[in-house]
Amino acid sequence: MAALFFLAFAFFAVGQASAKRNSAQTAADAAALAAARETRDEIKDPFLAALTAGDLVELGQLLGGVGMDGAGACPAASALASENDARTTSCVPAEGLPGSRVTVVTNGTVGESVIDGTENIRAKADATAVVEARCVLNGKDGKAVRFKCNGEDLSVDVTENGFVLDLSMFFTVHLSK
């Protein structure tokens, strides 16, 4: 009977560890996405200026990731990790595309169990999120700048009433391996 109770409590400890690991991965994913979104949003003013001026060269560079240095990425990652009961232990630029690779550790531990040491174990996870252009330039038409976004034509005229720049139309932010 004692052996069965021990096994039951051991399975419970494994379940606790698994739940804490999932919590850490959720925090890492959210933190990486926040960092990548902040990286994308840093070019909002230059992108709007280039659209307003109709500067196709500048727009092409911005769509290619120029200017996305991620200066505010790690503070954004830390803030979102904190909201998910974790803290960042590493935040570095992603390889290949603008974005960030974030590592987090949970604030809470696995908790006490029949397995010695679990009360001091914290879950750790990492995630990478990147920014990719959805669009390519397709020329100008008067005041409007034309784009091809995910195979669809998009014409943007900043002088139209109610124009609001939404960078998510031009860039995708997603988790990467």
Tens of pLDDT, residue by residue over 24-70, are 899 999 999 999 999 999 999 999 999 999 999 999 999 999 989 88
What per-residue confidence (pLDDT) applies to 24? 86
Concatenate the DSSP letters of all residues of 76-91 into one string: HHHHHHHHTTEEEEEE
Whether the per-residue pLDDT at 140 is higher than 60: the answer is yes
Averaged pLDDT score across all residues of the chain: 87
Residue with tokens 């020329």: 139
Tens of pLDDT, residue by residue over 85-103, are 999 999 999 999 999 999 9
> Between 44-53 and 56-63, two packed helices, what is the crossing angle to 10 degrees?
150
Alpha-carbon distance of 84 to 20, in angstroms, equals 11
- In contact, 9 and 1? CB cutoff 8 Å: no
Would you say the pTM of this structure is higher than 0.75? yes
Alpha-carbon distance of 177 to 175, in angstroms, equals 7
